[in-house]
């Protein structure tokens, strides 16, 4: 796959992007049924795959990063993680009842080819749940090889699948201010401190946040409680839930739900 790796690890519960990550998987559960065979494509550290597994599905998590796959197996004590290229999946045709594809299509140059591969491994009448950030409000990182506007994304899904339903996740103006600070102001200040030779000293005083992937284990730390129960018990996430598309204003993520299209 012609891409550059990016993996968001949702451990900062105070950030709206984390809330939206969790909400997308809770949304998936509303469409899935226990016992379904599910593909979680670009699973990263595997937290979403684990959510789907705990729900009772036969789920396979796939990622291009071999190290992450090995770590996911270790963290979740689950062997259903596979190292593979999203454009050349090692599965037979019509292998899955459902596919969850969150924040992946923007990491490939050819979205049409990517969706064709997902369609190949999806069973007849199977569903796909696919999301991507709105190009208007993205930070345009180098690992986003092809970002999408609203109409372009939903049109592309409609080319390969039928019965498309359009959903979205919105954000608040305070979230946008936070994004701008994180994307532009903080790096600018950091570059100035670096030039002055004081960045390391200040970061040492402030304390660096741990970035080890093992912090994902804290998500499942409460004894007798599944990830799903913990997420449903969280407060302050309802604004960021996946909801029917109401227009592009303050739209952070587009989410499409569709079925396999009969091409004959």
- Return the CATH number at 112: 3.40.50.150
Tell me how far apart the alpha carbons of residues 109 and 2 are, in angstroms, rounded to a whole number.
7
202, part of any domain: no
Residue 190 C-beta-side C-alpha neighbours within 13 Å: 9
* Residues 78/53, Cβ–Cβ less than 8 Å: yes
**Domain assignment of residue 143, given as a range:** 16-172+239-260
Tell me how far apart the alpha carbons of residues 200 and 208 are, in angstroms, rounded to a whole number.
10
Distant-in-sequence, close-in-space partners of 15: CB < 8 Å, separation ≥ 6? 178
- The larger pLDDT score, comparing residue 148 to residue 215, is at 148
- Residue 176, token pair as written in the block: 């946008």
Q: What is the mean pLDDT of the chain?
A: 82
162, part of any domain: yes
Tell me how far apart the alpha carbons of residues 252 and 17 are, in angstroms, rounded to a whole number.
9
Within 10 A of 146 (CB to CB), how many other CB atoms are there? 16
pLDDT, tens only, 188-226: 555 665 666 655 654 554 454 444 444 455 555 543 456
Please give the model's pTM, rounded to 2 decimal places.
0.80
Task: Examine the pLDDT at 162 and tell me if it is beyond 90.
Answer: yes
User: Which value, to the nearest 10 degrees, does the dihedral of the CA atoms of residues 69, 72, 78, 82 take?
Assistant: -20
Structural domain tally of the chain?
Answer: 1
Q: How far is CA 238 from CA 10, 11, 16, 129, 244, in A?
A: 17, 18, 11, 20, 14
34, part of any domain: yes
DSSP 185: I
207, part of any domain: no
* Residues 133/104, Cβ–Cβ less than 8 Å: no
Minimum mean pLDDT among 111-120, 204-213, 241-250: which range? 204-213
* Residues 257/165, Cβ–Cβ less than 8 Å: yes
Q: How far is CA 152 from CA 129, 147, 217, 258, in A?
A: 16, 10, 37, 16
47, part of any domain: yes
* Residues 164/256, Cβ–Cβ less than 8 Å: yes
* Biggest alpha carbon–alpha carbon distance for the chain: 65
């Amino acid at each position: 796959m012609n891409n550059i790796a990016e993996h968001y690890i949702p451990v900062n519960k105070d950030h709206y992007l984390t809330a939206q990550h969790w909400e997308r998987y809770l949304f998936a559960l509303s469409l899935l049924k226990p016992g379904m065979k599910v593909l979680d494509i670009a699973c990263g550290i595997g937290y979403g795959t684990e959510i789907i597994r705990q729900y009772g599905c036969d789920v396979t998590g796939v990622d291009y990063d071999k190290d992450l796959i090995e770590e996911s197996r270790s963290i979740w004590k689950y062997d259903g993680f596979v190292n593979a290229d999203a454009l050349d999946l090692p599965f037979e045709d019509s292998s899955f009842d459902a596919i969850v594809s969150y924040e992946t299509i923007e990491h490939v140059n050819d979205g049409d080819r990517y969706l064709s591969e997902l369609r190949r491994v999806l069973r007849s009448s199977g569903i796909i749940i696919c999301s991507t950030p709105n190009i208007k409000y993205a930070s345009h990182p180098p690992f986003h090889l092809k970002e999408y506007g609203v109409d372009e994304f939903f049109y592309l899904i409609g080319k390969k699948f039928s019965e498309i339903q359009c959903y979205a996740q919105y954000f608040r103006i305070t979230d946008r201010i936070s994004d701008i600070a994180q994307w532009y102001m903080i790096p600018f200040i950091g570059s100035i401190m670096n030039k002055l030779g004081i960045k390391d000293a200040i970061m040492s005083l402030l304390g660096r946040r741990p970035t080890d992937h093992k912090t994902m284990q804290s998500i499942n730390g409460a004894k007798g409680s599944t990830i799903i129960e913990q997420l449903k018990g969280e407060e302050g996430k309802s604004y960021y839930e996946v909801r029917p598309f109401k227009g592009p204003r303050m739209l952070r993520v587009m989410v499409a739900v569709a079925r396999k299209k009969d091409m004959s």
